Amino acid sequence: MTLLGIKLKQTQQLNQRLQQSLRVLQMSGIELEREVENWLSDNPLLERKDTDEFSDAEFSHYTAPTRQIGGDEGEDMLSNIAGEQDFNQYLHAQVCEHPLSDQESACVHILIDSLDEQGYLSDSIEDILDHTPLEWMLDEAMLKQALTALKKFDPAGVAAADLNESLILQIERLGECAAKTAALHIVRNALDSIDGNRSQTLARIKKRLPQTDSSTLEAALDLIASLNPSPAAGFASSTPTPYIRPDVWVEESKDGWTVSFNEDSLPPLQMNSEYCELMPSEGLSPEWKEKISEAKQRIDSLELRKATVVLLAEYIVKHQADFFTFGEIGLVPLMMKDAAAELGVAESTVSRAANQKYLSCPRGVFALRYFFTQAVQMEEGKEAVSQHAVKAALSQLVGSEDKRKPYSDEALANLLAFRGMEVSRRTVAKYRESLEIPAAHKRKTAE
């Protein structure tokens, strides 16, 4: 009986340490700072190491492509954002309002976290499954069922794959009328006919819907104009990080690209030397023994976070070396499950290590998740290409085109094929829309 009790106690302590380490690994830099403050107030055996004050000069290895805000300005911004409602939080709160099973609810939560900044689910179910830890035991049918449920949430249009579907979802919630029917037809079949010239738009649509009177078409266009192209518009950002402090630096050396940890990104903790010196070598109370164990465990969890993030960053640099030399077009498909297999850790550990962690290099500051990119569906026998690389090539082609004769989606697909990126016209259109690049007729300028 005593032996069994010891085993249970040891297992429980191990689980607590593991849970603590995984929790610390999952946190963002801001969350970790807050957590450490709680540790310091709760355990007198912990203290901060004496380190030089952080300075912008030491931090600015490279200039990030986005504006960075620090100091009082950053604190003021954080306090302002804290009072606003976050889009993802708004959706998560609705889960309990719908008749969903525990399994369906869990899947809906996963899909909510997969939405992009506009509130679209631009990734396919297959892509989401590939980036979901295997131990969660999800399948395509479960996620599709959850997606159907999520599309019924507010605001209307959420979780659509693209603008067309989002507008359709919004229109379908409206009451029945002739304008609704016409609006649905326009969005499904003639959305590319709409531009800034109302009379020309009406004439083009009239050719496609000759049986519909002009007044109904006018009402349909007014209805479409009243819809929200971005379901997430009006909500606070889900990641209010006005000042991003990278976790690792990536620099070029004579031996190639190297990774170094940014010590300023990790709260410097140590055992309180004064308290430790006053502790008797024997006869400690159980409460103080627990405090000592807890303090060591928390310091260890910080070191494990550091080691895991560096290990993952080194994996990224090894497999995405062309990105650091050539930019986004050099990205190759990279999966978290492959990283987990090579590093010898669980896929969920890789996911936690990549969560809200940042890498700074000569090209700017990037989230570690940015480097895990899906492969575009290619013909059998063709080398896989990442979605980011195709999008980068697409942006380059559109940027260098003759605006008097812009490339059609078919022409762009052919030009990408010359670069070894054989994708369909439909895929080109999807990526073009995600990059907010207008259709060819809207990019055309007068000769």
Q: pLDDT: is 314 or 266 the higher one?
A: 314
Q: Kindly state which CATH superfamily the domain 385-443 is placed in.
A: Homeodomain-like (1.10.10.60)
Intra-chain end-to-end CA distance of the chain, in Å: 90
pLDDT at 262: 93
Whether 431 has a pLDDT exceeding 50, the answer reads: yes
pLDDT at 351: 86
Ranges for all domains in the chain classified under CATH 1.10.10.60:
385-443
pLDDT one-digit tens code per residue, 152-192: 998 888 999 888 898 889 888 877 777 788 888 778 876 76
Spatial CA neighbour of 396 closest among 317, 328, 320: 328
- Measured CA angle at 202 (ends 196, 206), to 5 deg: 150
pLDDT at 227: 80
pLDDT at 343: 92
Burial class (CB in 10 A: 0-12, 13-18, 19+), 111: buried
pLDDT at 259: 95
Angle between helices 178-189 and 198-208 (to 10 degrees): 90
pLDDT one-digit tens code per residue, 104-157: 888 888 888 888 888 899 888 888 887 777 767 778 888 899 999 999 998 888
- The number of C-alpha atoms within 13 Å of 205 and in the hemisphere containing its C-beta is 30
Name the CA radius of gyration of the chain, rounded.
27
The average pLDDT across 267-274 equals 84
Whether 85 has a pLDDT exceeding 70, the answer reads: no
**Main-chain dihedrals φ then ψ at residue 16, nearest 5 degrees:** -65, -40
Residue 273 has a CB neighbour count (10 Å cut-off) of 9
DSSP lists the bridge partners of residue 375 as 386
Look up the pTM and report it: 0.53
Spatial CA neighbour of 299 closest among 332, 277, 271: 271
Q: Are 195 and 201 in contact (CB under 8 A)?
A: yes
